[in-house]
Copies of this chain bind each other. A is one copy, B any other.
Amino acid sequence: AEAGDDAALRKLLDVLHPADIADLIEQLGGEDRQRLLSVMGDGLDGEILSEMEEGLREEVIGSLDPGQLEAALGDLESDDVVEIIEDLEPERQAEVLEALDAEDRAAVEAALSYPEDSAGRLMQREVAAVPEHWTVGRAIDWLRKSENLPEQFYHLILTDPRMHPVGYVTLGRVLGARRDVRLDTLREDSFRVIPVTQDVEDVAYAFNQYHLISAPVADGDGRLVGVITIDDAIRVLDEENEEDLLLLAGVGDESLNDRTWAITRQRFPWLAVNLVTAILASAVIAQFEGVIAALTALAVLMPIVASMGGNAGTQSMTVAVRAIATKDLTGANAWRVLRREVAAGLLNGLAFAVIVGIVGLLWFGSPMLGVVIGAAMIINLVVAGFAGLLIPLALEKVGIDPALASGAFVTTVTDVVGFFAFLGLAAVVLL
């Protein structure tokens, strides 16, 4: 029965897309996962490895014997192999390189010679390029004879005699034109060449901003060395978005498949930074112990001011971090956006000052307590607007990822200012 189950399972896997199989493997627990992998056994498709989330991939590759690994990687494009290999431990890297045939190995090693996170790592070396002076007919004849075309391509890249990319033509236009038409009369207006050392984030930005489907990559001398396609750019964009989202919440590069111990260690430093900021806030409160002892209502109400400031600051900060990432927030409009953030902080500060003032009054029957908490609220929300914008901008300026560090600074500011304004005003006005 087991063998029958296995056959049925294999049949099921046959109709699934590799990306779905990878997701399935990710969702299974330890034993089921082993079972599934052993059923696939020798037939493990390289595409599945390629779709798998990093941590798990390393585990699966570790469980394959050299023959299986060779079979799996054999039918992948070189850029996919590079993506798999660059995350592996050095010794495992050597193993994988050995599993490749000589030609693929040379291609992968060439890619790995470019800096990490550069266009050179992202590109594929198989390109469909022809001289710019060719006609449609000549290009079609050449394509029909070519053996080493990329698996997917959407443009013919036009090159000059020095192999510099000088334009491209969409395949749709090639197909729609008569055989005697020169290719360079069909070229697209928007054409961008990616330098091979360009950071992948900038590559992804260009694809997104200019709606590129593919773009040629050129070396330092301007010579065509490869092509980057939209699927690679999307992967980078996706990873970046995920990274920003997680960083803003104080989570690093973790995945659902990481083990308890990994995520515990991962999250510890962020919590430790938060502890420091919380202790700073406590130190502010400690300055006012006498005031609190005299009026315990202050202890009851003080977290409200800090919490509202923290929230307002996080709102401003998130908008700022996102706008910096999309290059919408720059020196040119920072001043205008700052005035807006501070004004919005003031307006919401006024609104919530009235609301919490009334809450304070009704709860503890003291009009002056209401005035104090209202005033502290206004101060803290205005400060939140300032801090929420200026802290990410300042971090960006000094070369620190704003998504990484803004949160801790912003909440430190709003906690400290919140407690200090509320308790300080209370000390002056109420005692």
Contact = CB atoms under 8 A, between A and B. Distances in A.
Given A208-B234, A323-B256, A270 B355 contact: no
Among A249, A278, A352, max chain B CB count under 10 A is at A249
Contact of A322 (B29, B246, B351): B246
A238 B211 CA distance: 13
Interface in A177-211: 177-178, 190, 208-211
Interface stretch (A98-106, A113-121, A158-166, A291-299): A291-299
B319 A251 contact: yes
A306 B304 CA distance: 12
A311 B271 contact: yes
A241 interface: yes
A256 B348 CA distance: 18
Contacts of A234: 208, 211, 230, 234, 237
A300 B289 CA distance: 8
**Taking the full assembly, how many copies of this chain does it contain?**
2
Interface string A14-41: 0001011001001111000000000000
Contact of A263 (B213, B328, B340): B340
A387 B300 CA distance: 24
Interface in A24-65: 26-29
Given A279-B304, A415-B303, A333 B274 contact: no
A209 B18 CA distance: 10
Interface in A281-319: 281-282, 285-286, 289, 292-293, 296-304, 306-308, 311-312, 314-315, 317-319
B213 A230 contact: yes
A28 to B, nearest CB: 8
15 contacts: A143-B175, A144-B177, A213-B230, A230-B230, A246-B322, A251-B319, A268-B351, A271-B312, A271-B352, A274-B308, A281-B303, A286-B300, A289-B297, A293-B296, A303-B306
Interface of A: 17, 19-20, 23, 26-29, 128, 139-140, 143-144, 146, 149-150, 152-154, 170-172, 174-178, 190, 208-211, 213, 230-231, 234, 237-238, 241-242, 244-246, 248-251, 254, 256, 259-261, 263-264, 267-268, 270-272, 274-275, 277-279, 281-282, 285-286, 289, 292-293, 296-304, 306-308, 311-312, 314-315, 317-319, 322-323, 327-330, 332-333, 336-337, 339-341, 343-344, 347-348, 351-352, 355-356, 359, 415, 419
